Structure 1
């Protein structure tokens, strides 16, 4: 795989402003050397200020999208984003299991940066029961971790340790599976993420960048990891290398987000900061 361009798939929602969802995922794939494919699981009417509406396509057509793609294209990693409903979540889980999808990175999208709800409550238990068994890695932030664990969100790094351990218990215990618990909601000038496989707990610190342009950071990070997992498989610690490189690239995308002028709310990150001239 190191000598071949990997094919990465995103199954997520569409954000017309391009900052989050499938459009952001495809930008991240492209920026990091993967060929991007996309299956539409939801349509949204949204901009940088909020979500005005959500439309979920029929699950039969969602299944057809997935089956038609996997029947023809070798998919080396799959990122799962906004699914919207329990029915969509169950359909995606069923087809991923059928095709034995590799390197599934699940970003449990529940709430938009604007605070708008993006996942029905009935879909959360379906995600745990049906989709978690398919996931190679889950990438919740602290509020999402609280919802998944049916408890309050962690409020300290120490509490994050316990939450990461409990989240790992929701994944299959008999094979390599990872939790990336993102600590961006904690206060302070530095943020800490935790990467945990049930054995190694890796602290990943980073400076906090003062900007309002953080729309789609979760989508972008999970898709960056999916793009890099097939490309880092020969590293000494492949998953850790993919996550570290994805985070470093995202920090640059956030730092350079001010070069874009998209909307008046939470603007997008600059996915092509390393490729476009200032």
Structure 2
């Protein structure tokens, strides 16, 4: 069975992170494998702290790659160890990086340089508007400036870019040498874990052989369903239900 691997952090409340990634990957027909990069202390209300597991990334990844038929990699929260992760991204045709710079609840992971490095080694990067500005130095105020920013990120780092459009009125901006957009319904409530769902689904659809535009459409559909079925499990944010 084909495997898609998530390199990501653990959210013990299962609202985001590797637990969500694995659920999405399994739902789309792949065997899900996970390499834990960090352990967060968080719940639906916020991040309370984090432990870096940089020293344990390579051992986990070696065990997975020497045994399983890995066809895709998705990268989520990383604090350190980006050089090690890049080595495994180079082993596969499909590699999607979802930058996690600040949590939904405002916790700053102070790791922008990590993603600037990973961007140079992945096939596709999927920042939101704030993350795209942090990676590029661009200022995004509308759809036109978002397109300019996507092109600048691709030019700088050599990867295709998808700026996810939560604050662009639901429009995802895609650049892989040409521009595409995917427009979808937006909701008036915040849901935890949507970025994890999107990037994991995108990696799966690319591993199925879809082109980037079609894969982005599929990934956005998965997110919409995960939001429609989202649940209130704690005292604060709703969580995705992929």
TM over 0.5: yes
**Cα deviations by residue, 1:93-116 (Å, 9 ceiling, x for unpaired):** 24434xx23301000111111011
Map Cα deviations across residues 36-67 of structure 1 (whole Å, 9 max, x no partner). 000000000100100011001242x2111112
* Matching residue of 2:134: 147
Alignment partner of 1:195 out of 169, 174, 179: 174
Instruction: Give, in angstroms, the shift of residue 211 of structure 1.
Output: 2.4
Alignment gaps of 5+ in structure 1: 272-278
| Stretches of 4+ aligned residues off by more than 4 angstroms | none
1:8 deviation in Å? 0.7
Match of 1:74 in 2: 69
Distance 2:16 2:36 in 1: 13
- Which of 215, 221, 225 aligns to 1:252? It is 225
Are 2:17 and 2:196, in contact at CA under 8 Å, matched by a contact in 1?
Answer: yes
Q: Residue by residue, what CA displacement relative to the aligned partner does 1:168-192 show, whole Å, maximum 9, x if unpaired?
A: 11233xxxx4211112123xxx411
In 1: Cα distance, 2:148 partner to 2:142 partner: 10
Q: What residue number does 2:156 align with?
A: 170
Give, in whole Å, the separation in 1 of the partners of 2:125 and 2:54. Answer: 26
Structure ranking higher in strand proportion:
2
Distance 2:161 2:142 in 1: 17
Q: Residue in 2 aligned with 1:111? A: 102
Query: Counterparts of 1:15-34 in structure 2 under 5 Å?
Result: 15-34=11-30
**Residue-pair matches, total:** 242
Hey, what's the Cα distance between the residues in 1 that align with 2:114 and 2:207?
A: 28
TM-score scaled by length of structure 2: 0.94
Shift in Å, 1:218: 0.5
In 1, Cα distance between equivalents of 2:104 and 2:171: 19
Structure 1 residue 216: Cα displacement: 0.8
Q: Distance in 1 between matches of 2:149 and 2:120?
A: 18
CA distance in 2, matches of 1:95, 1:8: 12
Alignment of 1:81-230 (within 5 A): 81-85=76-80, 88-97=81-90, 100-118=91-109, 120=110, 123-129=111-117, 131-152=118-139, 154-172=140-158, 177-186=159-168, 190-198=169-177, 200-212=178-190, 214-230=191-207
Measured in 2, the distance between the counterparts of 1:58 and 1:180 equals: 27
Q: What RMSD in Å do the two structures reach over aligned CA positions?
A: 1.6
Aligned partners of 1:32, 1:165: CA distance in 2, in Å? 30
After superposition, the Cα gap between the structure-2 partners of 1:45 and 1:203, relative to the gap in structure 1 and judged at 3 Å, is same
TM-score under structure 1 normalisation?
Answer: 0.82
**Structure 2 unpaired stretches of 5+:** none
Does the CA-based 8 Å contact 1:6-1:227 persist in structure 2? Answer: no
Name which one, 1 or 2, has greater alpha-carbon Rg. 1
Secondary structure class of the residue paired with 1:211: coil
Cα distance in 1 for residues equivalent to 2:53 and 2:218: 35
